[in-house]
Amino acid sequence: MFEKNTSERVRSEQTATGAARSERAAVSIRHLSKSFDGVEVLRDVDLEVREGDVVTILGSSGSGKSTLLRCINWLEQPDRGSIHIGGQRIGVNDAGRPMPVRELARVRARTGMVFQSFNLWPHLNVLHNVTEAPIHVLGKSKAEAEAHARELLEKVGMSAKADAYPGTLSGGQKQRVAIARALAMQPEVMLFDEPTSALDPELVGEVLAVIKDLSAEGYTMIVVTHEMAFSRAVSDKVVFLDKGLIIEQADPETFFTNPSTERVRKFLEREES
Amino acid sequence: MNASAWHMLMEGAWTTVWISGVSIVIGVTAGLMLALIRLARIPVVDQILVLYISLARATPLVTLALFIFLSAPTFGINLDRNVAGILALTLNTTAFNAEIWRSAFRNFSRDQREAAMAAGMTPWVTFRRIMLPQMMITSLPGLINEMSFLIKGSPAIAVIGIVDLTRVTNRISAVTYEPLPPILVACALYMAAIGCLVWLQRIAERRANRLAV
Amino acid sequence: MSNWEILWSARDQFWSGFFSTMEIFGLSISAAFAIGCGMLYLLEGSRPRLTVPLRVFIDGMRMLPFLILAYLLYYGLPAIDIRLDAWWSGVGALAVYHGCYFAEIFRGARLTFPPGQVEAAKAHGFTKGKMFFRLILPQIVMQTRPLLGNQLIYALKDTAFLVIITVRELTAAANSLSGTYFIPTEAFIVVIGFYWAVSVVMEIIVKQCGRFSAKRGFDNV
């Protein structure tokens, strides 16, 4: 009952702002549940992300927000429910069986993921980290992949370090390269798993600035984060998870100024102090 | 030592080098394959491999070489002694290499594998492009160390009549009646060869540490 | 008579080979252990002029195959009028060779030995020797036991090299039996079983020591 209301509110809000947004769902999640060792981490989660939307997922640690993100590209396999990316179901094929690895890899390639701990491949230099998957997954030519990679490195401000190895970069630089690496797959949706949580405070800004630029360019993004100001500035929709349940989803203005649940109000108070 | 003694010594050294070299190449590759098979955890096969590795680690090379060379004919196989020597060294070194490769697999970063999966790589592409290149770097120090051990064990093949760098010192002193000089020269040659490997191992360690950043 | 029955009837030869190998092994690793400890003590720095030659000697030994050292003792030493029989050459070579490996293992652990403990010992008025043998050495031996266990297996395997310099041990027994009765496969399977059993027992002992030291919390001081 309550969820329906909020989602309607979001929709009307957006038509009101008059933004020409597609109504096509980039990601749609239905009845998603997942437990680890008998502990329910996600409980019947429903979430719809439309093309071009930026959705930030908030919640205290252990609320299941990272698990939710990792289910979207099947790094975690949910127990129940379904996830569609651009209309295609991930993880389960038409016959209702687990997807063969090759097919799963193809669907995964439609998403790009940025990890909390960067996870760059240390044996490849920055340029080759970005071109590796386009060449060996998408089958692009080396020249084409490198040209595109250089554009992306320019975009994240890392073109000067194209020949450097990950081991020589700062955390902020690593994360910007990781963003370029994910973008290189020309994904339909970008997934960010606490992209600034492993960074020294003074390096957080440079990474958030890059993600902000991307949101302005119309990328579809789902961002798990602890950065409230950032969430408020970039989101089209803010989702709050608590103990595996979505207890609030709203446009950022409503969410941060007039949340409808006591739990979110407490959370915001604690974050402000 | 006269010219012919030097000549014999060099021939012995060459025998040690090529037999060890062939065994190293086969042993490193076969070790990788065994490690892969063990990761698959196929019942029975896995137990057999565990037993093989345990036996190979405990069996002296001399005993293994004699065993292979003497028992092959009773199965109707006529083994060339060089082949028997290579087989013995290979069976031994493969077991150790398999353990080195396997630990490189097990210690491979889960995060990096996830990044590869998230980028849409299939397990095979992940293995070939992301894991194997790094495993080669991280395993190399261990593999080179095992190569030193193989060369230090290689005189075992003398027991089946191969005239290697150690055995040849006997042949030379049988002619010159001076056993000490050829043995000392052989010592120096072994030290040079293994010294090189130790040096390479240090370089490999430095490269591996750089990767670990 | 089946081949196995022939072997059973010749069991005395296996036993004497086995005991000979164990005798050589036991004697030489005890000596090697003592040599390793002695070298570590000398490397403590009370005799600075010895340190460099000792390190060179240890590293040199580790770059040699064991057999060439046995050759040096057995065939080479008579040239300078030192004559050892095959058995003593073998035991001597094993002791020196593996003593150097023990020393290197200890040295590696000594480098990471907490200096605070040494200071505490000095503050309590320990002499250098007492401190070494009562405080440093026992901990280092305990800490390096997996490496020492490996080294014991290497030493056991190296005893088989002595068949080449005509020592009568376990592998020699198999060799002569297979020559007499033409049953090499069975003879060597038995002998490999012996080596394997001893290795497995040693591994178990090392693991038990590990459990003992874990129980006392040695590993997480």
What is the rounded (10 degree) CA torsion for A195, A200, A204, A205? -170
CATH at A80: 3.40.50.300
Give the chains touching B; criterion: ≥3 Cβ pairs < 8 Å.
A, C
Residue A156 within any structural domain of the chain: no
Give the chains touching A; criterion: ≥3 Cβ pairs < 8 Å.
B
pLDDT of the residue at A13? 39
Q: Is the pLDDT of residue A10 over 70?
A: no
pLDDT of the residue at C125? 82
pLDDT of the residue at B174? 87
For B95, the token pair is: 């077991």
Beta strands A39-50; A25-36: pairing state: antiparallel
Q: Is the pLDDT of residue C108 over 70?
A: yes
User: In total, how many domains does chain C have?
Assistant: 1
Report the residue of B50, B70, B100, B150 to disrupt the C interface, i.e. the one with the largest count of C CBs within 10 Å. Answer: B70
Percent of chain A at pLDDT exceeding 90: 82
Evaluated on CA atoms C168, C173, C179, C181, the torsion sign reads positive
pLDDT of the residue at A17? 39
* pLDDT band at C115; cut points 50, 70, 90: confident
Task: Give chain B positions within 8 Å (CB) of A105.
Answer: 117, 120-122
Q: Is the pLDDT of residue A19 over 60?
A: no
Residues C66 and C97: beta-carbon distance below 8 Å: yes
The parent domain of residue A41 ranges over 2-110+190-196+225-272
* pLDDT band at C82; cut points 50, 70, 90: confident
Domains of chain B in sequence order: 3-211 (1.10.3720.10)
- Give the C-alpha separation, B120 to A187, whole Å: 11
Percent of chain C at pLDDT exceeding 70: 98
Cβ separation B125–A137 shorter than 8 A: yes
pLDDT of the residue at C46? 76
Nearest by CB to B179, which of C79, C160, C192?
A: C79
Min Cα separation B47/chain A (Å): 28
Decide which of A157 and A16 is more confident: A157
Tell me the three state secondary structure of residue A130: helix
Q: Is the pLDDT of residue A202 over 80?
A: yes
Q: Is the pLDDT of residue B209 over 90?
A: no
Q: Is the pLDDT of residue A23 over 80?
A: no
Tell me the three state secondary structure of residue B179: coil
Residue A248 within any structural domain of the chain: yes
* pLDDT band at A22; cut points 50, 70, 90: low
pLDDT of the residue at C220? 56
Evaluated on CA atoms B42, B34, C156, C51, the torsion sign reads negative
pLDDT of the residue at A14? 40
For A253, the token pair is: 């203005």
Instruction: Please tell me the number of Cα atoms within 13 Å of C22 on its side-chain side.
Output: 13
Task: Give chain A positions within 8 Å (CB) of B137.
Answer: 123
Tell me the three state secondary structure of residue A223: strand
pLDDT of the residue at A15? 39
Q: What is the mean pLDDT of residues C46-64?
A: 91
Residue A116 within any structural domain of the chain: no
- Give the C-alpha separation, C133 to C126, whole Å: 11
pLDDT of the residue at C143? 87
pLDDT of the residue at A5? 41
**Closest alpha carbon to B36 in B130, B120, B132:** B132
The parent domain of residue C58 ranges over 3-220
User: In total, how many domains does chain A have?
Assistant: 1
Residues 6+ apart with CB under 8 A from A209: none
What is the rounded (10 degree) CA torsion for C124, C125, C127, C128? 50
Q: Is the pLDDT of residue A20 over 80?
A: no
Residue A49 within any structural domain of the chain: yes
Residues B178 and B29: beta-carbon distance below 8 Å: no
Count of beta carbons in the 10 Å neighbourhood of residue C175: 23
Q: What is the mean pLDDT of residues B70-90?
A: 91
Residue A178 within any structural domain of the chain: no
| pLDDT tens string B171-207 | 998 888 888 999 999 999 999 999 999 999 999 999 8
pLDDT of the residue at B91? 96
For C213, the token pair is: 């030291």
Q: Is the pLDDT of residue B211 over 70?
A: yes
Cβ separation A105–B129 shorter than 8 A: no
For B38, the token pair is: 């063990």
> Which stretch of B9-23, C171-185, C188-202, C206-220 has the lowest confidence by average pLDDT?
C206-220
**Closest alpha carbon to B20 in B213, B162, B174:** B162
Residue A158 within any structural domain of the chain: no
Pairs from C80-84 (Cβ < 8 Å, separation ≥ 24): C80/B180
Kindly state whether A123 is in contact with chain B, defined as any CB-CB distance less than 8 angstroms. Answer: yes
| pLDDT tens string B57-69 | 999 999 999 999 9
- Give the C-alpha separation, C171 to C164, whole Å: 10
For B:57-86, CB contacts with C below 8 A are: 57-64, 66-67, 70-71, 74-75
Cβ separation B71–C64 shorter than 8 A: no
Q: What is the mean pLDDT of residues C128-138?
A: 87
Count of beta carbons in the 10 Å neighbourhood of residue B208: 17
Q: Is the pLDDT of residue A6 over 70?
A: no
Residue A120 within any structural domain of the chain: no
H or E element, residue C74: none
CATH at C75: 1.10.3720.10
- Give the C-alpha separation, A91 to A105, whole Å: 10
Q: What is the mean pLDDT of chain A?
A: 89
Q: Is the pLDDT of residue A133 over 50?
A: yes
